[in-house]
Amino acid sequence: MKIQTTRFGEIEGDEKLIFNFKMPILGYNEETQFVLIEPKEASLFKWLQSTNTPELAFLTTSPGLFGIDYVFELPDEAESILDVKSAEDLVVLNIAKVPNNNPRGTTVNLLAPIVFNIKNNVAGQVIISGSGFDVEYPLFENQPQPKEEEPV
Protein backbone atom coordinates (compact mmCIF):
# COMPACT_ATOMS: atom_id res chain seq x y z
CA MET A 1 0.00 0.00 0.00
CA LYS A 2 1.46 3.38 -1.00
CA ILE A 3 1.10 6.05 1.68
CA GLN A 4 1.75 9.77 1.31
CA THR A 5 3.52 11.39 4.26
CA THR A 6 4.94 14.85 4.85
CA ARG A 7 7.89 13.48 6.86
CA PHE A 8 9.01 10.60 4.66
CA GLY A 9 7.46 11.36 1.26
CA GLU A 10 5.68 8.47 -0.42
CA ILE A 11 6.32 5.18 1.37
CA GLU A 12 5.31 1.60 0.77
CA GLY A 13 3.34 0.52 3.86
CA ASP A 14 4.08 -3.03 4.98
CA GLU A 15 0.68 -4.77 5.32
CA LYS A 16 1.84 -6.41 8.60
CA LEU A 17 2.47 -2.97 10.07
CA ILE A 18 -0.83 -1.34 9.07
CA PHE A 19 -3.30 -1.29 11.96
CA ASN A 20 -7.02 -0.54 12.09
CA PHE A 21 -7.80 1.53 15.16
CA LYS A 22 -10.91 0.24 16.94
CA MET A 23 -10.18 2.58 19.86
CA PRO A 24 -9.17 5.96 18.38
CA ILE A 25 -6.34 8.15 19.52
CA LEU A 26 -7.86 10.89 21.69
CA GLY A 27 -8.82 13.85 19.55
CA TYR A 28 -8.43 11.91 16.29
CA ASN A 29 -11.65 9.90 16.08
CA GLU A 30 -11.77 10.06 12.26
CA GLU A 31 -8.28 8.54 11.93
CA THR A 32 -8.87 4.81 11.84
CA GLN A 33 -5.78 3.43 10.13
CA PHE A 34 -2.09 3.92 10.89
CA VAL A 35 1.16 2.32 9.81
CA LEU A 36 4.20 1.84 12.05
CA ILE A 37 7.41 3.20 10.54
CA GLU A 38 10.87 2.48 11.91
CA PRO A 39 13.09 5.27 10.55
CA LYS A 40 16.31 3.35 11.27
CA GLU A 41 16.82 -0.32 12.02
CA ALA A 42 16.81 -1.01 15.78
CA SER A 43 15.69 2.57 16.51
CA LEU A 44 14.37 3.37 19.99
CA PHE A 45 11.53 5.30 18.35
CA LYS A 46 8.90 4.44 15.73
CA TRP A 47 6.50 6.73 13.90
CA LEU A 48 2.79 5.98 13.93
CA GLN A 49 1.75 7.49 10.60
CA SER A 50 -1.85 8.02 9.51
CA THR A 51 -2.56 6.29 6.20
CA ASN A 52 -5.13 9.00 5.32
CA THR A 53 -3.60 12.26 6.57
CA PRO A 54 -0.03 12.84 5.33
CA GLU A 55 0.84 15.40 8.02
CA LEU A 56 -0.40 13.29 10.97
CA ALA A 57 2.22 11.14 12.66
CA PHE A 58 2.99 10.39 16.29
CA LEU A 59 6.44 9.61 17.64
CA THR A 60 6.23 6.47 19.81
CA THR A 61 8.54 4.38 21.94
CA SER A 62 8.58 1.67 24.57
CA PRO A 63 9.33 3.06 28.06
CA GLY A 64 11.13 -0.17 28.97
CA LEU A 65 13.87 0.70 26.49
CA PHE A 66 14.71 3.63 28.77
CA GLY A 67 14.64 1.70 32.04
CA ILE A 68 11.12 2.76 32.99
CA ASP A 69 9.23 0.03 34.87
CA TYR A 70 5.88 0.08 33.09
CA VAL A 71 3.33 -2.65 33.78
CA PHE A 72 -0.45 -2.42 33.66
CA GLU A 73 -3.51 -4.61 33.34
CA LEU A 74 -5.46 -4.16 30.14
CA PRO A 75 -9.08 -3.22 30.93
CA ASP A 76 -11.63 -5.92 30.01
CA GLU A 77 -13.40 -3.63 27.53
CA ALA A 78 -10.15 -2.95 25.65
CA GLU A 79 -9.31 -6.65 25.69
CA SER A 80 -12.67 -7.38 24.08
CA ILE A 81 -12.52 -4.58 21.48
CA LEU A 82 -8.98 -5.54 20.45
CA ASP A 83 -9.97 -9.24 20.41
CA VAL A 84 -7.04 -10.27 22.60
CA LYS A 85 -6.45 -14.00 22.85
CA SER A 86 -2.98 -13.89 24.39
CA ALA A 87 -0.69 -11.26 25.93
CA GLU A 88 2.03 -12.46 23.54
CA ASP A 89 -0.04 -11.05 20.66
CA LEU A 90 0.27 -7.50 22.02
CA VAL A 91 2.80 -4.75 21.49
CA VAL A 92 2.53 -1.58 23.56
CA LEU A 93 4.00 1.76 22.53
CA ASN A 94 3.59 5.17 24.10
CA ILE A 95 3.34 8.55 22.39
CA ALA A 96 6.41 10.71 23.00
CA LYS A 97 6.54 14.50 22.98
CA VAL A 98 9.86 16.14 22.13
CA PRO A 99 10.30 19.85 22.92
CA ASN A 100 11.80 21.73 19.94
CA ASN A 101 14.54 23.37 21.96
CA ASN A 102 15.38 20.50 24.36
CA PRO A 103 15.27 16.87 23.18
CA ARG A 104 16.41 15.76 26.66
CA GLY A 105 13.07 17.12 27.92
CA THR A 106 11.19 14.41 25.99
CA THR A 107 8.17 12.98 27.80
CA VAL A 108 6.01 9.90 27.21
CA ASN A 109 2.30 9.43 27.83
CA LEU A 110 2.10 6.48 30.25
CA LEU A 111 -1.58 7.06 31.04
CA ALA A 112 -2.82 6.28 27.51
CA PRO A 113 -0.65 3.70 25.73
CA ILE A 114 -1.24 2.52 22.17
CA VAL A 115 -1.93 -1.23 22.26
CA PHE A 116 -1.37 -3.22 19.05
CA ASN A 117 -2.76 -6.71 18.49
CA ILE A 118 -0.22 -8.06 15.98
CA LYS A 119 -2.33 -11.18 15.25
CA ASN A 120 -5.29 -9.31 13.77
CA ASN A 121 -3.75 -5.87 13.04
CA VAL A 122 -6.18 -4.07 15.33
CA ALA A 123 -5.01 -1.34 17.70
CA GLY A 124 -6.22 1.41 19.96
CA GLN A 125 -5.33 3.98 22.55
CA VAL A 126 -6.24 2.67 25.98
CA ILE A 127 -6.74 4.89 29.04
CA ILE A 128 -5.38 3.16 32.13
CA SER A 129 -7.85 4.68 34.64
CA GLY A 130 -6.87 4.82 38.29
CA SER A 131 -3.28 3.83 37.50
CA GLY A 132 -1.60 7.01 38.70
CA PHE A 133 0.43 7.03 35.47
CA ASP A 134 1.49 10.42 34.15
CA VAL A 135 0.54 11.91 30.77
CA GLU A 136 3.97 13.57 30.51
CA TYR A 137 6.49 11.27 32.19
CA PRO A 138 10.11 12.42 31.67
CA LEU A 139 11.86 9.92 29.41
CA PHE A 140 15.38 10.85 30.46
CA GLU A 141 14.64 11.52 34.14
CA ASN A 142 17.11 8.93 35.47
CA GLN A 143 19.92 9.77 33.08
CA PRO A 144 22.60 12.37 33.76
CA GLN A 145 21.92 15.78 32.28
CA PRO A 146 24.67 17.40 30.21
CA LYS A 147 26.58 20.08 32.06
CA GLU A 148 26.10 23.63 30.96
CA GLU A 149 29.23 25.26 29.64
CA GLU A 150 30.56 28.01 31.85
CA PRO A 151 31.04 31.40 30.20
CA VAL A 152 34.66 32.18 29.29
Judging by DSSP bridges, how do beta strands 18-23 and 9-12 pair with one another?
Answer: unpaired
| Position 140 pLDDT exceeds 70 | yes
Judging by DSSP bridges, how do beta strands 33-37 and 2-5 pair with one another?
Answer: unpaired
Residue 63 lies in a domain: yes
**SS3 category, 23:** strand
Residue 147 lies in a domain: no
Residue 118 lies in a domain: yes
- Predicted model pTM: 0.88
Mean pLDDT of 114-121: 97
Q: Determine the Cα–Cα distance for residues 72 and 126; give it in Å rounded to an integer.
A: 11
Question: How sure is the predictor about 142, in pLDDT bands with cuts at 50, 70 and 90?
Answer: low
- How many structural domains does the chain have? 1
- The predicted-structure confidence for 14-23, as pLDDT tens digits, reads as follows 899 999 999 9
147 Cβ neighbours under 8 A, 6+ residues apart: none
% of the chain surpassing 70 pLDDT: 92
Residue 78 lies in a domain: yes
**SS3 category, 150:** coil
Q: From residue 22, give the alpha-carbon distance in Å to each of 35, 77, 79, 110.
A: 14, 12, 11, 20
* Cα–Cα–Cα angle for 59, 32, 28, rounded to 5 degrees: 60
116 Cβ neighbours under 8 A, 6+ residues apart: 19, 36, 90, 91, 92, 93, 122, 123
| Position 132 pLDDT exceeds 50 | yes
CATH classification at residue 117: 2.30.290.10
* Enclosing domain of residue 91: 2-138
Question: How sure is the predictor about 146, in pLDDT bands with cuts at 50, 70 and 90?
Answer: very low
Q: Determine the Cα–Cα distance for residues 69 and 10; give it in Å rounded to an integer.
A: 36
Number of H helices, E strands in the chain: 1, 11
Residue 49 lies in a domain: yes
- The predicted-structure confidence for 49-63, as pLDDT tens digits, reads as follows 999 999 999 999 999
| Position 114 pLDDT exceeds 90 | yes
**How many Cβ atoms sit within 10 Å of the Cβ of residue 115?**
22
Residue 115 lies in a domain: yes
Residue 146 lies in a domain: no
Question: How sure is the predictor about 46, in pLDDT bands with cuts at 50, 70 and 90?
Answer: very high
27 Cβ neighbours under 8 A, 6+ residues apart: none
Residue 151 lies in a domain: no
| Position 149 pLDDT exceeds 60 | no
| Position 145 pLDDT exceeds 70 | no
